Amino acid sequence: MSSIAAAQSLVYLAVGLVAFGLSVWSLVDAGSRPAAAFTSAGKRTKKFWLVLTGVATALTFIALPPLGAGGLSLFTLGSAVIAGIYLADVRPAVAPYSGRRGPRGGPSGPRSGW
């Protein structure tokens, strides 16, 4: 294997791992949000996003080398787009409806009785 082919393989692996990481992050985040948050934010349903991000995660896992070396890069790209849409558009929209606490006693954090 030439040094150029080895470098290309490493770049392909890195891109695949980043896409897989984004897909896992979006799947875990979608699973941790309450179902009502999605409909309240007008972003389809929790089940829709769980199925979409779950399929994206599975496809990026299958497309990782050595199993998917080269032939499945379209699935990796599509999965990264799905994860990116969730993380950039849906996640910020559902966050206010999730009821999570702010950092270090912020506006929605613990309150003092004094």
Q: Which residues contact residue 45 at a Cβ distance below 8 angstroms, ignoring those fewer than 6 apart?
A: 35, 38, 39
Residue 29: how many other CB atoms lie within 10 Å: 19
Q: Which residues contact residue 73 at a Cβ distance below 8 angstroms, ignoring those fewer than 6 apart?
A: 12, 63
The pair of structure tokens assigned to 100 is 């999570």
Write the pLDDT tens digit of every residue in 17-73: 999 999 999 999 999 999 999 999 999 999 999 999 999 999 999 888 776 655 667
Q: What is the pTM of this model?
A: 0.79
| Domain assignments of the chain as residue spans, ordered by start | 3-97
